[in-house]
Structures are given as structure tokens and as C-alpha cells.
């Protein structure tokens, strides 16, 4: 379909990038009957299908999703593909499904890119979530959406767990992280020996510098680099586990914990624990508003004695974060968990 204002068809515009929708003619033709009020929306983005240009043609519906961020809610229109729709999605009867969540119910936002495989997930305390796959080349545009998405849930007053995190994290806070930094370690009086985090992965420093440039209020609370993990299991099971790990080792990847007074922000790889020897080229950003969490606990990892698992939750939503047992992150999360009880 040709745009009356620009003379450019939907097919002409198609590519792996995510475009902002500013005018009615920018709306993909599949979703035009939905009746979107662009003047009331804060941000509208269209997410293309994951196909190459040579496999596209003018007769196709070329956009998998339309993301409509309003003042109080996020609506996702998703092209029906024959597979099961996301939980809670409604059939529009017009070739696409509709899923809407209230921004006040959002408890976590996760944006992860592994090479060109990007995934944005917005979770609520009821356990409902929206997951939108996208081409990783559009990570910058999705970052804009994340910044806008978090404004409403981050305006909620801190929960008891959020207050504990703020109080403990404030003692660890460092306002900046300069290029070339290798450690983030601050003594905490009365809590015993200060953990030694070791070198911080370069990708974490780079991610942090970009994040702080966008939000100067962000302060580093803790950071650690990657390290190998050795399993600890008795008897024959332990022998088998160690033999498997000799061929496919387990790596606990680096993490940087930051906060701006409104939300806890975690930077790391697409997964905290990864098996194998392949190089990892991924980045994840998790935003947890301080008003959201109602649960925080730290426990030893059941297989790796050098790791601990922090579980942070809000209602039915849970996020498990693997950290080195002797790290600043483990100390911070452990103290906050005790304080929030």
C-alpha cells in the first residue's frame, strides 16, 4: 500500500530496523483498522518480520508487532502466525492478536540481545508478560522504549524490599565508573572482610558508560567479571559431573548492579550461567522498579560452591541472579535480604 503523503510503500520501507510511527500512513496496513490514536500515544514502534529483504514481497504483511505506549498502558498488536498467542492476548478477528498491560502493574523490564537475536520482555506481578523478538540492530530504538516504559512503574514508592535495597545499596554506591576500571570494592564497616570482585569485564564498563551518559543519576553498586565454576557433587555423580564440565565448562558471567533511586538495574549477558567454550557476544539490561519487589533471598548454588543465587520477586514474577559467593554483589544482596525480613 502506497503512502499518500510520502509516496513510499510499506514494502519500500521494509528492513530489519524498528521504525517509529508518527503519522497514520506509517501504521502497517494490517493494524490500521485498530483505531490507534497517535496523538495520545507517547511512543509507537513497528517491529518487522524476521525475514530477509529478498524473501519479502509487496503483498505480505511485513510487520510482526506494533507497540503502542500510552500514558498508562502498553498495547502490543501481533501478527497472527498460526502458533499459540501470548497468554492473555485477545483475537482481534482481523489477523492479529492484542495484548495490553497496565504500566502500574509492571514489575520488571528485560531487554536482551544475543548477536542479532533481541528480546524485550515486560513482566507484571500477576505473572503475565509480553515478549517481543526483534533484530538486535534495533537495540538503540528498543532502549528508548525501555526508558519510556519504566517511567510509570518507577514512580511507585519503594516497597519494604526496595527500601532495604536502597539503604544497603547506598553504602556501596559509586557515582561513576571510569574507563580502565578493574574493580568496584568499598569497605562496609561492621560487616566483616570486604569481598574482592576481581576484574570487571570490558563489556560491562562499556554498557555502564552508555547508561550513565543517558541517566547521570545512575550509581554503581557492585560489579564483577566472569569466572569458571567447578561442580561439587559426591560419589559417582560428582565424577560424572566433573567429566562433563571438562568438555563443556560452566561460566558465571559478569554483572553490574546499578541504581538511580527509582529502580534497580542489572547489566550482564543474556544468561547468568552459560555452558560451553564458545565466545559470548550478548548484553542484557534488567530494570526492576523499587516499588515492585516483595521477595529477596540469597542461597548457595546447589551444584557450584563458588556461586550464590539471589532470587528477587514480585507477586508471581521471579528473577534468579547467579553471583560469585565472595563478591560485593553477594554481600549487598545478602544484607538487603536480611534487612527486608
* Domain count within the chain: 2
The boundaries of the domain holding residue 261 are 157-340
Residues 269-302: tens digit of each pLDDT: 999 999 999 989 999 999 999 999 999 999 999 9
Is 5 part of a structural domain of the chain? no
Clarify whether residues 97 and 161 are in a common domain: no
Which pLDDT score, from 0 to 100, does residue 200 have?
84
Exposure string for 323-338, b = 16+ CB within 10 A, e = fewer: bbbbbbbbbbbbbbbe
The model's pTM: 0.89
Which pLDDT score, from 0 to 100, does residue 101 have?
93
**DSSP classification of residue 21:** P
* Contacts for 22 with CB less than 8 Å, ≥ 6 apart: 38, 44
Is 79 part of a structural domain of the chain? yes
Give the three cell numbers for residue 108.
Answer: 520488571
Clarify whether residues 203 and 296 are in a common domain: yes
Task: Round to whole Å and give the CA distance between 300 and 323.
Answer: 10
Domain boundary among 154, 187, 212: 154
Clarify whether residues 123 and 269 are in a common domain: no
Task: Enumerate residue ranges in the chain where pLDDT < 70.
Answer: 1-8, 91-93, 176-198
Is 316 part of a structural domain of the chain? yes
Give the three cell numbers for residue 139.
Answer: 537495540
Clarify whether residues 139 and 184 are in a common domain: no
* Residue 158 near residue 291 (C-beta atoms within 8 A): yes
CATH number at residue 128: 2.30.29
DSSP-derived secondary structure for 286-307: EEEETTS--EEEEEE-SS-TTE
Which pLDDT score, from 0 to 100, does residue 5 have?
45
**DSSP classification of residue 242:** H
* Contacts for 135 with CB less than 8 Å, ≥ 6 apart: 16, 17, 18, 48, 50, 116, 118
Which pLDDT score, from 0 to 100, does residue 195 have?
47
Clarify whether residues 15 and 107 are in a common domain: yes
Clarify whether residues 148 and 232 are in a common domain: no
Task: Round to whole Å and give the CA distance between 19 and 30.
Answer: 16
Is 2 part of a structural domain of the chain? no
Q: In terms of DSSP bridges, do strands 90-91 and 63-69 run parallel, antiparallel, or are they unpaired? A: unpaired
* Residue 179 near residue 206 (C-beta atoms within 8 A): no
Is 1 part of a structural domain of the chain? no
Give the three cell numbers for residue 303.
Answer: 551444584
Task: Round to whole Å and give the CA distance between 68 and 74.
Answer: 6
Is 312 part of a structural domain of the chain? yes
Clarify whether residues 295 and 221 are in a common domain: yes
Clarify whether residues 78 and 17 are in a common domain: yes
Clarify whether residues 117 and 20 are in a common domain: yes
Is 45 part of a structural domain of the chain? yes
3-state helix, strand, coil in the chain (%, to 5): 25, 35, 40
Clarify whether residues 201 and 140 are in a common domain: no
Clarify whether residues 187 and 88 are in a common domain: no
Is 133 part of a structural domain of the chain? yes
Which pLDDT score, from 0 to 100, does residue 187 have?
44
Task: Round to whole Å and give the CA distance between 136 and 170.
Answer: 34
Domain boundary among 108, 130, 154: 154
Domain boundary among 154, 188, 218: 154
* Residue 20 near residue 141 (C-beta atoms within 8 A): yes
Which pLDDT score, from 0 to 100, does residue 334 have?
96
Residues 306-316: tens digit of each pLDDT: 999 999 999 99
Clarify whether residues 100 and 198 are in a common domain: no
Amino acid at each position: 500500500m502506497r503512502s499518500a503523503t510520502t509516496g513510499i510503500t510499506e514494502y519500500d520501507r521494509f528492513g530489519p530496523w524498528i521504525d517509529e510511527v508518527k503519522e497514520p500512513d506509517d501504521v502497517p496496513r494490517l493494524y490500521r483498522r485498530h483505531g490507534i490514536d497517535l496523538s495520545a500515544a507517547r511512543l509507537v514502534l513497528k517491529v518487522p518480520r524476521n525475514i530477509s529483504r529478498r524473501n519479502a514481497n509487496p503483498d505480505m504483511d511485513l510487520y510482526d508487532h506494533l507497540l503502542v505506549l500510552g500514558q498508562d498502558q502498553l498495547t502490543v498488536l501481533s501478527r497472527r502466525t498460526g502458533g499459540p498467542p501470548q497468554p492473555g492476548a485477545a483475537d482481534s478477528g482481523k489477523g492479529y492478536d492484542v495484548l495490553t498491560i497496565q504500566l502500574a502493574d509492571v514489575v520488571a523490564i528485560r531487554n536482551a540481545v544475543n548477536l542479532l537475536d533481541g528480546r524485550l520482555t515486560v513482566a507484571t506481578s500477576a505473572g503475565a508478560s509480553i515478549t517481543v523478538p526483534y533484530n538486535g540492530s534495533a537495540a538503540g530504538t528498543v532502549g528508548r522504549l525501555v526508558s519510556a516504559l519504566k517511567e510509570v512503574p518507577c514512580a511507585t514508592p519503594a516497597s519494604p524490599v526496595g527500601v532495604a535495597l536502597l539503604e544497603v545499596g547506598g553504602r556501596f554506591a559509586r557515582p561513576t565508573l571510569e574507563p580502565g576500571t578493574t574493580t568496584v570494592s568499598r569497605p562496609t564497616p561492621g560487616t566483616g572482610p570486604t569481598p574482592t570482585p576481581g576484574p570487571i569485564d570490558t563489556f560491562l564498563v562499556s554498557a555502564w558508560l552508555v547508561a550513565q551518559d543517558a541517566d547521570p543519576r545512575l550509581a554503581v553498586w557492585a560489579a564483577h567479571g566472569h569466572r569458571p565454576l567447578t561442580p561439587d557433587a559426591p560419589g559417582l555423580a560428582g565424577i560424572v559431573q566433573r567429566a562433563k564440565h571438562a568438555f563443556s565448562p560452566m561460566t558465571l558471567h559478569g554483572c553490574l548492579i546499578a541504581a538511580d533511586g527509582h529502580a534497580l538495574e542489572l547489566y550482564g549477558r543474556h544468561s547468568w550461567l552459560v555452558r560451553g567454550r564458545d565466545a559470548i557476544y550478548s548484553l542484557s539490561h534488567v530494570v526492576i522498579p523499587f516499588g515492585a519487589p516483595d521477595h529477596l533471598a540469597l542461597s548457595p548454588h546447589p551444584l557450584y560452591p563458588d556461586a550464590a543465587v539471589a532470587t528477587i520477586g514480585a507477586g508471581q514474577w521471579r528473577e534468579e541472579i547467579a553471583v560469585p559467593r565472595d563478591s560485593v554483589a553477594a554481600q549487598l544482596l545478602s544484607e538487603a535480604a536480611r534487612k527486608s525480613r
